[in-house]
Amino acid sequence: MKLADVRKNAFAMPLNNPAYPPGPYKFHNREFIIVTYRTDPDIVRSLVPEPLEPIGDTVNYEFIRMPDSNGFGDYTETGQVIPVRFRGADGVVQEGGYVHAMFLDDNAPIAGGREIWGFPKKLAKPKISHQSETIVCTLHFGTVLCVSATMGYKHREIDPAPILAGLAKPSFMIKIIPHVDCTPRICELVRYYCKDVTLKGAWTGPAAIELFEHALCDVARLPSRGVVSATHYLTDLTLGLGEVVYDYLKDA
């Protein structure tokens, strides 16, 4: 293979058989169950990286079922998103979410999520099931239960406007790629948006969540101090590609 061919064909690893195709990445019938709970504000401040600033003391614990996604297939994902604000170089302040942790059960979106955007993804076993009148969500890391969340099934339909407004906000994460000598080669704050959102239904209901200690699945680092609210909704959307809003190595 010639040098020019490497430059032309290189998209993702492995060179000759990438783990995922190029985007756009469209999701159909993407199901969200989000339990918002209060936690320790001091711990939140210790985990949210500057230049982001945490908003309050809440965490959104998300379970997401993705049965039909272009390039990534059929999988389930879960994780913690912390409400934050960001002041850009132009002085504009945005509110959004900092993606603190993610766990899922499919190789392609783990590789693509980490390599393209910098999603903090790890392999695990999240599950969403509808058990009679209850939505039951669990996360196992190996055989160990790390999260158990339950919600009443479609107890009350809610106004779609706040859900759409929330989906229009940016999400932030830190993309880290090590150098071959294990020093950081890339360390960037990335922002992305969901696009082409179609909301197919939104509901709320009673909810509960438990987080359990695990050495490598650290969801319990942000302990629950009580559930604030829970939402369940169904969407079609496109996962927008990211942009770098702060370079920790260049801007140091």
Which residues are catalytic, by number? 121
In contact, 188 and 246? CB cutoff 8 Å? yes
In contact, 153 and 207? CB cutoff 8 Å? no
Interatomic CA distance for residues 15 and 9, integer angstroms: 7
